[in-house]
Chains A and B, each alone.
Chain A
Amino acid sequence: MDNNAQQSDDFGAFLESVQRAVKPGEVGSTGNIKIMNMLAKLGEVDMAQLVAMVELPWSDFTTGIESLKSAGLVIVNETTQGGKVQLTSDGQRWASALSSPNKEG
């Protein structure tokens, strides 16, 4: 079996990655939305500035940034001051959908 054939049939790997990513027992997080909304307003911003603006605990903030980054919704450009973060084009689409009137609360 060649690589392509393996890729086409192997959505088991995809399902595993979904199951690893979802945490049904965990209390839901709104931190990711806060980060994305703030980035949609500010564009590219220093990590230190962003954490102060979203008012999240450091651990929640880093977890949020990490999960957004691995989902391809933000990019972090490393600098000597700790890094600058901005939404990807995919992230911008999500941010605009999240700010739609259908949002709860």
Chain B
Amino acid sequence: MPEAYLQYYLQWLVVAALGAIISSAEIISRYRDEPDNALRTWPSAFYMLLNALASVVALAAIRAFGWNFGITDPTAAGWVQVAVAGIGAMAVLRASLFSVTIDNETIPIGFGRFLDVLLVSVDRAVDRKRAEERGKAVSEIMKNVSFDKAYQALPAYCLSLLQNLPQADQDQLGKKIGLLFNTTGISPRVKSLLLGLALLNLVGESVLKAAVQNLGKDLEADPVPPLPLTPGAP
């Protein structure tokens, strides 16, 4: 009997963990460069807790209605209930129950809207947390990098270091760089920082740092020649 109790409590734990893990995958996919940092924020924890809770509620509902999915062995039925609750709760949370039309726009109504709002707060919390450290990191890494020398060489080198960056992301990076190149009214220093930020999002801090270190002087601005001394100058 104690073993059966243990299994019973374990199933509740597993279903909660399943909900949390599925939702953490959603957060990780949004922050591919620093997933661990993204997960260590309060809104992320709340988002995962909410998904875990939804899975637990789904399991409670399945057991209350006595759905065994045609399985007679109670242990096997229990684990199938866990799997269905864990995955089914995610589907229910993300589905829209109905849609309303306002000003010719169709707006889906359901728990999905609530989750979207939560994900936006996760985005903001993660951005706030990382903004300062990213700013410092980019500023430090790109301090001697000249935009004019780096705008092709540095991204190409970073891309060659990575193995699986999708072509669509590479195209978007190319367009960002083109935009920076064509825009006047911002200093070369800011252009260089924005180039660093664009690369940081794609390749992460360590790859960017390694690429700048490896390319070294090839990315540095040419030194300004000293002014010639004029005779009679003090």
Interface size class of B (residues with CB under 8 A): 35 or more
> Do B189 and A102 touch across chains, with their CB atoms under 8 A apart?
yes
A-B contact pairs, 20 of them (CB 8 A): A8-B162, A11-B155, A15-B156, A17-B175, A20-B174, A22-B177, A23-B182, A28-B185, A29-B184, A30-B184, A30-B185, A33-B185, A33-B186, A71-B175, A71-B176, A79-B105, A89-B123, A97-B193, A104-B186, A105-B185
B-side residues, CB < 8 A to A, are 103-105, 123, 127, 131, 151-152, 155-156, 159-160, 162-167, 170-179, 181-187, 189-190, 193-194, 197-198, 201
Which residues of A sit under 8 angstroms from B172, Cβ to Cβ? 70-72
> Do B174 and A29 touch across chains, with their CB atoms under 8 A apart?
no
* 4 more A-B residue pairs beyond the given contacts A8-B163, A14-B159, A80-B103, with a C-beta to C-beta distance below 8 A: A14-B156, A89-B123, A102-B187, A102-B193
Which residues of B sit under 8 angstroms from A80, Cβ to Cβ? 103-104
Given A14-B159, A28-B183, A21 and B177 contact (CB-CB distance below 8 Å): yes
> Do B185 and A17 touch across chains, with their CB atoms under 8 A apart?
no
Which residues of B sit under 8 angstroms from A94, Cβ to Cβ? 194, 197
Which of B103, B166, B201 interacts with A7 by CB under 8 Å?
B166
Which residues of A sit under 8 angstroms from B181, Cβ to Cβ? 21-24
Which of A29, A70, A98 interacts with B182 by CB under 8 Å?
A29
> Do B167 and A13 touch across chains, with their CB atoms under 8 A apart?
yes
Interface size class of A (residues with CB under 8 A): 35 or more
Nearest CB of chain A from residue B206's CB, rounded to whole Å: 18
Cβ of A90 within 8 Å of any chain B Cβ, yes or no, is: yes
Which residues of A sit under 8 angstroms from B173, Cβ to Cβ? 14
> Do A100 and B104 touch across chains, with their CB atoms under 8 A apart?
no
> Do B185 and A104 touch across chains, with their CB atoms under 8 A apart?
yes
Q: How far is the CA of A9 from the CA of B72 in the complex (A)?
A: 55
Q: How far is the CA of A102 from the CA of B97 in the complex (A)?
A: 49
> Do B175 and A21 touch across chains, with their CB atoms under 8 A apart?
yes
* CB closest chain-A residue, reference B165: A7
Which residues of B sit under 8 angstroms from A72, Cβ to Cβ? 172, 175-176
Cβ of A103 within 8 Å of any chain B Cβ, yes or no, is: yes
Cβ of A49 within 8 Å of any chain B Cβ, yes or no, is: no
